[in-house]
Amino acid sequence: MRPDHVGLGGFDSHPLPPRASHFVRLASLALFAGAVCLLPPARAVAQAVDSAAVGVRASARFDTIPLRVTPRGAFLRSLAVPGWGQARLDRSTAGAAFVLTETLAAVMIVKSRRQLDRAKDARGDSIFAGYEVGSDGTPVLDETGAPVLIYEPHPLAARTRSRRQQFEDWIAILAFNHLFSGADAFVAAHLGDIPRRLSLRPTQNGLALSAHLPW
């Protein structure tokens, strides 16, 4: 009888019988197949990752929108220069409307002021209206023998009151444009903070939009 050769640790170093090795291979394949079956499908994993990534990106996009200007800052800017606060809030159309109104009011103020000054200057002027005629239809002569001239007040002098009213109206429109532009920028700055309170979250059925409204 041949003596057995024992390796390190006292274990038999003979190779396993053919049946034993075949059984080990089958067991290994079965374990591998079971592990593969337990893993989730690659497509589902990819969809879950993509949905989570979309949710994170959407949430970051809604939650981290920077507030470029505070409501108070927007109000003061547009109160000083109509359209400035709207420009800082990326509302170019509204800002252009206030700038156009401001320009028109300023031009009309200058124009109405000049017309008012002319009307005031005309109060001391008079225009020739003709000669004084007697009952017989002949011109009336003065002591020097010259015909008596007739002068009437300048017609612009009668328009002083109306032109002053126009001048004051355009000043009121200019002031209203400043106040309304400031109020519009103030409200727009508050409304611009709403997207920061919105967020998208991934769910089992897709994405959910949530809003945080403090009381």
* pLDDT at 126 (0 to 100): 80
Q: Is the pLDDT of residue 2 over 70?
A: no
User: Mind listing the pLDDT tens digit for each residue in 29-52?
Assistant: 555 554 444 444 444 444 444 444
Q: Is the pLDDT of residue 54 over 50?
A: no
User: Mind listing the pLDDT tens digit for each residue in 83-123?
Assistant: 999 999 999 999 999 999 999 999 999 999 999 999 998 88
Alpha helices by DSSP H, the chain: 18-38, 42-63, 71-80, 84-88, 92-122, 160-191
**Could you give the CA distance from residue 37 to residue 209 in angstroms, rounded to a whole number?**
35
* pLDDT at 127 (0 to 100): 79
Contact between 155 and 163 under an 8 Å Cβ cutoff? The reply is no
Q: Which of 106, 77, 84, 83 is nearest to 96 (CA)?
A: 83
The bridge status of strand 126-131 relative to strand 198-203 is unpaired
Give the chain's mean pLDDT.
Answer: 74
Burial 57-89 (b: 16+ CB within 10 A, else e): ebbeebeeeeeebebebbbbbbbebbbbbbbbb
| Percentage of the residues of the chain whose pLDDT score is greater than 70 | 61
Band the pLDDT of 131: cuts 50, 70, 90: confident
- For residue 88, the Cα-to-chain-centroid distance in whole angstroms is 7
* pLDDT at 4 (0 to 100): 46
SS3 3: coil
DSSP notation for 42-94: HHHHHHHHHHHHHHHHHHHHHHT----S-HHHHHHHHHHSTTHHHHHTT-HHH
Q: Is the pLDDT of residue 198 over 90?
A: no
Across the range 153-160, mean pLDDT stands at: 86
Q: Is the pLDDT of residue 168 over 80?
A: yes
Across the range 190-211, mean pLDDT stands at: 69
* pLDDT at 184 (0 to 100): 95
- Around Cβ 106, how many Cβ atoms within 10 Å? 13
User: Mind listing the pLDDT tens digit for each residue in 4-24?
Assistant: 444 444 444 445 455 455 555
Inter-axis angle of helices 92-122 and 160-191, to 10 degrees?
Answer: 160
Residue 49's Cβ-count burial label (10 Å; 0-12, 13-18, 19+) is: exposed
pTM above 0.85, yes or no: no
**Could you give the CA distance from residue 169 to residue 207 in angstroms, rounded to a whole number?**
55
**Gyration radius from the chain CA atoms:** 47
Residue 91 to residues 88, 203, 208: CA-CA distances in angstroms?
A: 8, 35, 29
Q: Which of 155, 157, 95 is nearest to 120 (CA)?
A: 157
Across the range 116-132, mean pLDDT stands at: 84
